[in-house]
Homo-oligomer: A and B are copies of this chain.
Amino acid sequence: MSAEELLNQIKEEVIKRAPGNAVITDVQFEGPEVVIYAKNPEIFTNSFIKELARDLKKRIAIRPDPSVLLDPEIAKKKILEIVPDDAEITNCIFDANTGEVIIESKKPGLVIGKEGSTLEEIKKAIRWAPKPVRTPPIPSETIKAIRATLYRERADVKEILRRIGRRIHRDIKIREDYWVRVSFLGGAREVGRTCLYLQTPDSRVLIDCGINIAVEGDRAYPHFDAPEFSIEEIDAVVITHAHLDHCGFVPGLFRYGYDGPVYCTRPTRDLMTLLFKDYLDIAEKEGKDVPYTAKDIKTCVKHTIPIDYGVTTDITPTIKLTLHNAGHILGSAIAHCHIGDGQYNIAYTGDIKFEASRLLEPAVCQFPRLETLIIESTYGSFDDVLPEKEETEKELLKIVSETLQRGGKVLIPVFGVGRAQELMLVLEEGYNQGVFNAPVYLDGMIWEATAIHTAYPEYLSKVIRNRIFHEGDNPFLSEVFKRVGSTNERRRVIDSDEPCIILATSGMLTGGPSVEYFKNLAPDEKNTLVFVGYQAEGTLGRKVQKGWKEIPITTKNGKTKSIPIKMEIHTLEGFSGHSDRKQLIKYLRKLKPMPERILMIHGEANKCIDLASTAYKLFKRETRAPMNLDSIRVK
């Protein structure tokens, strides 16, 4: 049956079942959803939608017909009239594609009203479906820009969604000897340029599409020269999380002709957009090649279909995708693909943390079905056991308080997304407990990344969520944090005698504000440098870590001078966003169900091989550390 015929069949079913007074104006495939447009969407009950979804095995959305929606300007005025001023509405965001209006206010309870009475009133007056949310405590430029793009280009976005919808529901012929296969285009026996290519006779899905920012040339990008890879044939791109080694090439896909959907969580969409832009900025400054432009990033945003954890979505005629929390960074996901009629299930962990961090819940380890697991192996080797988190935190606070006490400054070069926020939570607690009393300066992209974190409290750990929602005690808003927003402000932080803590990007001293701070703070033995992440070979961070006593630097006027390193240097390994070997094995132990086959990727060759060999011995399942360009048939 063609998509057209299927849609007509669904239309008939919808009309047959709908309440007699329903005025249905259209039924459409939009992305993975069946969208019913009605002049009176409010008359469709939740149970109607649920039953329809169950019977059709589709995600169903009911939306107001655009003709009944009030003009956004007028609608906004109406909202402000209806809602009491005490609610302190800060923003109304109209999503023309869903017919929803997000009403941001300081007191969302007042927007809802008694038993939802205010909401009802709003809905009747403007017809848009009101979604009251708490005003994010730190406004995000990234989110604002994404929303603006999606609103401005709503007609285009709608057209994209409908095209995707038709493609998902296209007619296919099922082969007698159905098969499922995964090719590793990058990230096998290496870290960087992670890219998996899932293939069945009828479907092609790219899962992650990263770049290796540490190298240049062919090895920086996934193996698009794999004979099975064809950009025109890709049905869907799935992104597990926003780190560039998992998503860095995605805008490039659009540049080279991809025109389909990108599935990921909403935080991943926002964080990766931030990181794409940052990557582009830095590369431009350094005169490096980037395989895309700002325009391609925008195209990518328009093609992104955010999905929440646990919601199962058709992404091709035979593949359903469910994302589950991976515990690694905000919005990070395990991608679970259910292929055919329950025939085959394959999950790819992306990067996982199987331990509660301050920021996030631990990775999900239970699935309805599972035949093949693909797992990261960053710390997969026998000796990759990291120190306990609690110990590491204590150690950090000790270093901090000692440095501050002697009047020094603590510089922590840190990756802006994830690790920075985890450290902020540790420092905030230390400050509250009186371990130290000095400001924590945030420089580089940390502030903006934190803003995105505060926009998605539902993705954070229960503890933090509770503090934000119930206690009105958002740790990221603590008075201890000070934003460094300009080079002047940075200068002032450097020049002042005030003991302080500085979190600054980049995490490996490869550029950005952390290098500025380092150059100025290094010669003073009162100061301390704390590395909290991996320092790659060849980076300034690695040299410092190795104990170099002098670092040659290029001054503004182009001359080279030498800077003596006298500050104290520490490395703390326990803040990793990855599971260490113990946790990886614990993850496999707790995994339900135990799959037939486990494939190890995302680690140096010996780490993948060690983990594969241990897992084989422990669980007596087929395990393997594939190579890039291996293509493994799993069914």
A632 within 8 A of B: yes
Given known pairs A177-B218, A631-B630, A631-B631, the reply for A228 and B225 (CB within 8 Å) is no
A629 touching B175 by the CB < 8 A rule? Answer: no
A176 — which chain B residues lie within 8 A by C-beta? 217-219
B627 touching A630 by the CB < 8 A rule? Answer: no
A633 within 8 A of B: yes
Which residues of chain A (207-232) have a CB below 8 Å from chain B? 217-219, 223, 225-230
The 9 nearest A-B residue pairs measured at CB: A227-B228, A631-B631, A228-B228, A176-B218, A629-B633, A627-B633, A630-B633, A199-B227, A179-B629
A228 — which chain B residues lie within 8 A by C-beta? 226-228, 631
Q: How far is the CB of A218 from chain B (nearest CB, A)?
A: 4
A409 within 8 A of B: no
- Number of residues of chain A lying within 8 A (CB) of chain B: 27
Contact of A177 among B183, B219, B227, B633 (CB under 8 A): B219
Interface flags, A189-200, vs B, CB<8A=1, else 0: 000000000010
Q: How many copies does the complex hold?
A: 2
A181 touching B218 by the CB < 8 A rule? Answer: no
A353 within 8 A of B: no
A564 within 8 A of B: no
Besides A176-B218, A176-B219, A631-B631, 6 more A-B contacts (Cβ < 8 Å) are A183-B631, A201-B225, A227-B227, A627-B633, A630-B632, A630-B633
Measured between alpha carbons, how far is A629 from B175 in the docked complex, in Å?
14
Which A residues have a C-beta under 8 Å from some C-beta of B?
175-177, 179, 181, 183, 199, 201, 204, 217-219, 223, 225-230, 233, 627-633
By beta carbon, the residue of chain B nearest A176 is B218
Contact of A230 among B183, B227, B628, B632 (CB under 8 A): B227
Measured between alpha carbons, how far is A631 from B630 in the docked complex, in Å?
6
By beta carbon, the residue of chain B nearest A204 is B227
Q: How far is the CB of A234 from chain B (nearest CB, A)?
A: 11
Measured between alpha carbons, how far is A236 from B176 in the docked complex, in Å?
29
Measured between alpha carbons, how far is A177 from B226 in the docked complex, in Å?
12
Measured between alpha carbons, how far is A627 from B624 in the docked complex, in Å?
15
A631 — which chain B residues lie within 8 A by C-beta? 183, 228, 629-631
B227 touching A175 by the CB < 8 A rule? Answer: no
Q: How far is the CB of A302 from chain B (nearest CB, A)?
A: 27
Q: How far is the CB of A185 from chain B (nearest CB, A)?
A: 11
A179 — which chain B residues lie within 8 A by C-beta? 223, 628-629
By beta carbon, the residue of chain B nearest A225 is B201
Measured between alpha carbons, how far is A628 from B632 in the docked complex, in Å?
10
A627 — which chain B residues lie within 8 A by C-beta? 633
A204 — which chain B residues lie within 8 A by C-beta? 227
A229 — which chain B residues lie within 8 A by C-beta? 227
Q: How far is the CB of A627 from chain B (nearest CB, A)?
A: 5
Measured between alpha carbons, how far is A219 from B178 in the docked complex, in Å?
11
Measured between alpha carbons, how far is A204 from B217 in the docked complex, in Å?
24
By beta carbon, the residue of chain B nearest A629 is B633
A-B contact pairs, 18 of them (CB 8 A): A175-B225, A176-B218, A176-B219, A177-B218, A177-B219, A179-B223, A179-B629, A181-B227, A199-B227, A226-B228, A227-B227, A227-B228, A227-B229, A227-B233, A628-B633, A629-B633, A630-B631, A630-B633
Q: How far is the CB of A284 from chain B (nearest CB, A)?
A: 24
B629 touching A181 by the CB < 8 A rule? Answer: yes
Measured between alpha carbons, how far is A226 from B217 in the docked complex, in Å?
29
A632 — which chain B residues lie within 8 A by C-beta? 630
A181 — which chain B residues lie within 8 A by C-beta? 227, 629
By beta carbon, the residue of chain B nearest A626 is B633
Measured between alpha carbons, how far is A540 from B391 in the docked complex, in Å?
76
Measured between alpha carbons, how far is A316 from B233 in the docked complex, in Å?
27
Q: How far is the CB of A441 from chain B (nearest CB, A)?
A: 42
A217 — which chain B residues lie within 8 A by C-beta? 176
By beta carbon, the residue of chain B nearest A218 is B176
A630 — which chain B residues lie within 8 A by C-beta? 631-633
Q: How far is the CB of A361 from chain B (nearest CB, A)?
A: 37
B629 touching A218 by the CB < 8 A rule? Answer: no
Given known pairs A199-B227, A204-B227, A227-B204, the reply for A175 and B218 (CB within 8 Å) is yes
